[in-house]
Each structure stands twice: as C-alpha cells, then as structure tokens.
Amino acid sequence: MTWTIVVVFLLSLGLFLRRASKGPARTPETLEWPIRGLLRQGYNGGYLLIKVARSNKFLQLDKYIRAPGEYGIELAFPKAEWSLQYFERLLDFCRNHGIEFRISSSSPGDPMEFLCIDFGNDYVRANDIVRKILVSVLDTPKDHRVYFKLENASTEDRLIES
C-alpha cells in the first residue's frame, strides 16, 4: 500500500513538473499580454518563446535595445529541417501582406538562416501578425493551446529601454 502511494505521488509530481516547465498556456487569440511583457520587461537579448502544444512548432520573439529609448522586438523564424515548409509559407505570407522582412544568419559563416520581422516597439502589431502566423502559416487552430516562456526579463512591470 505504501509503495503504491509513493509511486502515484512520484508520477503526479513528474506530470506537474513537466507541465510547469512548458510555461503558462494561452491560445493564439490571447498573446498580447506576453508580447507586451517582452517589450516592457525584457532586457536586451530577452526573448519570448511561443510553443504550439503537442507539436514541434514554435515562434520566438527577441528584444533588442540599441540605445537608450531605441528598443523593440523582432520575430526570428528558423529555416531548419522541421520548419522548411513553414518557412516558405511565411515568405509568401509576408509578401502577400506587405510585411517587411529580412533573411539573416545568426553569425557570419553560419548556414542557418532566419526570416526576421522587426516590429519596433509596436507590440499590438506584433501580436496581430504573430497571431496570424500561428493560425494561417503554422496551421494552429484559434482555440488551440500554446505555451509561452519569457526569458531574460524583469519580474517587475516596468519599461526597460536602456
């Protein structure tokens, strides 16, 4: 009897920790708050990882601070093996919607390319475009669960701009 309780407890604890490590759950329709949080609370190089539940699909937004008062967020979508079909769809999406983007690599000589969309400090526009990318490019239903993780950011709700 005691071993049964211990096993059930350990399994429950493992499931809880696995779920907690994913970050809070949202839907593509409810991402404005975490995106705003990245823009306001993120340090230079902070990022927001948005992972689609039960898949390997994700989006990453990065915060940059170039000078005091000159800050923003940028989407960097990888051209990797898992994302090739989505990369091409994202290219078409940007072209069809008049969204400015650039293709870059993470470092000189690195073969990994990224499609980058700079939103500046317009988190409302970032939310709108990220939501549309999740739904129409990554085929995520509007009510499907997505997890987000905000890294390298303050816990205080204050603007970090330098």
Asked if the structure places residue 11 within a domain, the reply is no
Report, in this order, helix, strand and coil percent for the chain, each rounded to 5: 40, 30, 30
> What does the pLDDT look like over 19-36, one tens digit per residue?
444 456 778 778 899 999
Asked if the structure places residue 16 within a domain, the reply is no
Asked if the structure places residue 15 within a domain, the reply is no
Read off the pTM: 0.81
Query: What are the start-end ranges of the E strands in 38-145?
Result: 42-52, 58-67, 70-78, 102-105, 113-120
Asked if the structure places residue 134 within a domain, the reply is yes
> Per the structure, how many domains does the chain have?
1
More confident residue, 109 or 72: 72
Asked if the structure places residue 3 within a domain, the reply is no
Q: Is the pLDDT of residue 124 over 90?
A: yes
Asked if the structure places residue 66 within a domain, the reply is yes
Asked if the structure places residue 18 within a domain, the reply is no
Q: Domain span at residue 87?
A: 24-153
> What does the pLDDT look like over 66-80, one tens digit per residue?
999 999 999 999 998
For position 1, what pLDDT does the model report?
Answer: 55
More confident residue, 143 or 129: 129
Asked if the structure places residue 103 within a domain, the reply is yes
